[in-house]
Amino acid sequence: MRLSPEQVAIIRQAAAESFGPEARVWLFGSRVDDSKRGGDIDLYIESPQPSADALDQQLKFWSLLQRRLGEQRIDIVIRAADSTPQAIHQIARRTGIPLT
């Protein structure tokens, strides 16, 4: 995994502040593979909150990460508590590394 322990802690804290302490976070995509270089940070979030709140929470999360990690390319995929699972959700869970 190509994130430092400090970056992981920042992501965990920002997720808890944005989605609540029960939110679960996975890192997926190229940053999971230590043999690759570069790439954006792909994060999958399972939120205990309803989808009506998802956009505001996602914007808060992204903003916190940008301030705390510095300017980074970050992709965020969210599955709200009341949403139907999509293929990307299954792929992110299957190939990703849990951060929380």
Say which CATH number the domain at 36 has.
3.30.460.10
The pLDDT mean for the chain works out to 92
Predicted confidence (pLDDT) per residue in 38-64, tens digit: 778 999 999 999 988 889 999 999 999
Q: Using the 8-state DSSP alphabet, how is residue 31 labeled?
A: G
Could you give the number of structural domains in the chain?
A: 1
Mean predicted confidence (pLDDT) in 9-25:
97
Judge whether residue 1 has pLDDT over 90: no
40 within 8 A of 72, measured Cβ to Cβ: yes
* % of the chain exceeding 70 in pLDDT: 98
What is the residue range of 80's domain?
A: 5-98
pTM equals 0.91
Structure tokens at 19: 């989605």
**Which residue in this structure is represented by tokens 């792909």?**
42
User: Does 78 or 100 have the greater pLDDT score?
Assistant: 78
Q: Catalogue the E-assigned strands of 23-94.
A: 24-28, 41-46, 74-79
